[in-house]
C-alpha cells in the first residue's frame, strides 16, 4: 500500500550546502519572489533559462537527482493534458494536420508553444518549491512564516495537518486491515457493498477526527492555551544571506529581461 506510507518532505533538510545555510526567512521570501517572476515569464527561452538556473541551484544543494525528478512527476498529468489539448484548441499556423476521413484535426504552432510555456512554468515553479521545502526543515519554515507575520492560523493549520495526517493514515490502515481480516476485498468501485463500506470508512474517519480534535483542544487548553499562538524565534542573518538575496534578485531581473527580448537591443 505505497500511497499510505508516511510522506516525508524534509528528509534532506539535514544536509549541508550553501542553500541549506540560507536564513529561512530570507530563503522563503527570495523563493516566493523568484516564483512570482518565473510565473510572469512567457517566452520559452527565458523559461528554459529559469529551469537551467534552478537545476544549478539544486545541484549545489546536493539533493539527490532522483528525488528531485520524483517530485517533478506531479507535473506530468497536467503537462501531458496541456500538450495534448492546447495545440488542437488554439488557432494559428498549422503544425500538423490529421485527416481522419470526415474529421479534420489541425495542431497549431501557437497552441503548441503555449502548452510548452505552461509546462515549463509549472516545472520551474515546482523546482523552486522543491528547493525551498527540501533544504529547510518543515518546522523551521513554519517558524519563518510566523516571524514574517503570516497570520498564525496558516502555519498552525499546516503544522496540525502534517502532524495528524500520519495518525489518520495509520487509522485508515488499521481499519483496512481489520476489514481485510474479515474477508473484505475492495472489488469494483460501483458495486454496492464496496461503495457502502468505503462510505462508512469515510464517515467513521470524520467522526474520529472530530472527536480527536476535541481532545486535542482540551489538551491544549490544559497547558494554558488561550487562542494566542506564541513562539520563541531565533534567526540570525549572516553575510551569505545578503549575497543570496542579491543573487536571486539578479537572476529574477535577468530572466525578466530575457523574456522581454533583452536589454541589449
132 binds another protein (CB under 8 A): no
Picking from 108, 115, 199, 148, the residue whose alpha carbon sits closest to that of residue 28 is 148
110 binds another protein (CB under 8 A): no
Residues 6 or more apart whose CB falls under 8 angstroms from that of 193 comprise: 187
Residue 106 φ/ψ, nearest 5 degrees? -125, 130
138 binds another protein (CB under 8 A): yes
Number of residues engaging another protein in binding (CB under 8 A): 28
d(CA 138, CA 175): 29
* In the block, residue with C-alpha cell 531565533: 234
222 binds another protein (CB under 8 A): yes
Distances (CA, A) of 238 to 31, 134, 235: 18, 21, 10
Shortest separation between residue 148's beta carbon and another protein, angstroms: 18
45 binds another protein (CB under 8 A): no
Interface with another protein (CB under 8 A), residue from 167, 202, 253, 257:
167
240 binds another protein (CB under 8 A): no
Specify the residue, 6 or 185, whose C-beta has the smaller distance to another protein.
Answer: 6
Picking from 263, 253, 261, the residue whose alpha carbon sits closest to that of residue 53 is 253
d(CA 244, CA 92): 42
Specify the residue, 227 or 239, whose C-beta has the smaller distance to another protein.
Answer: 227
Specify the residue, 51 or 158, whose C-beta has the smaller distance to another protein.
Answer: 158
d(CA 62, CA 64): 6
d(CA 15, CA 63): 8
Query: CB under 8 A: which stretch of 61-69, 124-132, 160-168, 257-265 binds another protein?
Result: 160-168
Specify the residue, 4 or 218, whose C-beta has the smaller distance to another protein.
Answer: 218
215 binds another protein (CB under 8 A): yes
150 binds another protein (CB under 8 A): no
Applying CB under 8 A, the residues found at the interface with another protein are 6, 138-139, 142, 159-160, 162-164, 166-167, 212, 215-216, 218-226, 228, 230-232, 234
Amino acid at each position: 500500500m505505497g500511497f499510505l506510507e508516511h510522506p516525508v518532505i524534509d528528509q534532506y533538510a539535514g544536509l549541508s550546502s550553501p542553500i541549506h545555510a540560507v536564513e529561512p526567512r530570507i530563503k522563503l521570501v527570495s523563493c516566493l519572489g523568484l516564483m512570482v517572476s518565473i510565473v510572469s515569464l512567457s517566452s520559452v527561452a527565458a523559461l528554459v533559462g529559469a529551469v537551467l538556473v534552478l537545476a544549478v541551484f539544486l545541484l549545489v544543494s546536493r539533493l539527490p537527482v532522483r528525488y528531485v525528478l520524483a517530485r517533478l512527476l506531479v507535473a506530468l498529468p497536467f503537462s501531458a493534458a496541456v500538450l495534448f489539448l492546447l495545440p488542437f484548441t488554439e488557432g494559428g499556423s498549422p503544425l500538423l494536420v490529421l485527416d481522419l476521413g470526415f474529421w479534420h484535426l489541425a495542431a497549431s504552432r501557437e497552441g503548441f508553444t503555449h502548452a510548452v510555456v505552461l509546462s515549463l512554468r509549472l516545472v520551474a515553479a515546482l523546482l523552486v518549491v522543491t528547493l525551498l521545502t527540501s533544504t529547510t526543515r518543515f518546522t523551521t519554515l513554519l517558524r519563518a512564516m510566523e516571524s514574517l507575520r503570516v497570520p498564525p492560523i496558516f502555519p498552525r493549520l499546516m503544522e496540525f495537518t502534517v502532524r495528524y495526517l500520519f495518525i489518520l493514515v495509520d487509522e485508515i490502515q488499521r481499519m483496512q486491515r481489520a476489514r481485510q481480516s474479515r474477508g473484505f476485498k475492495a472489488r469494483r468501485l460501483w458495486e454496492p457493498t464496496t461503495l457502502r463500506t468505503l462510505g462508512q470508512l469515510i464517515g467513521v474517519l470524520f467522526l474520529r477526527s472530530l472527536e480527536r480534535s476535541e481532545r486535542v483542544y482540551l489538551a491544549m487548553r490544559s497547558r494554558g492555551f488561550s487562542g494566542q499562538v506564541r513562539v520563541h524565534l531565533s534567526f540570525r542573518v549572516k553575510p551569505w544571506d545578503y549575497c543570496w538575496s542579491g543573487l536571486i534578485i539578479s537572476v529574477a531581473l535577468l530572466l525578466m529581461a530575457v523574456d522581454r527580448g533583452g536589454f541589449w537591443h
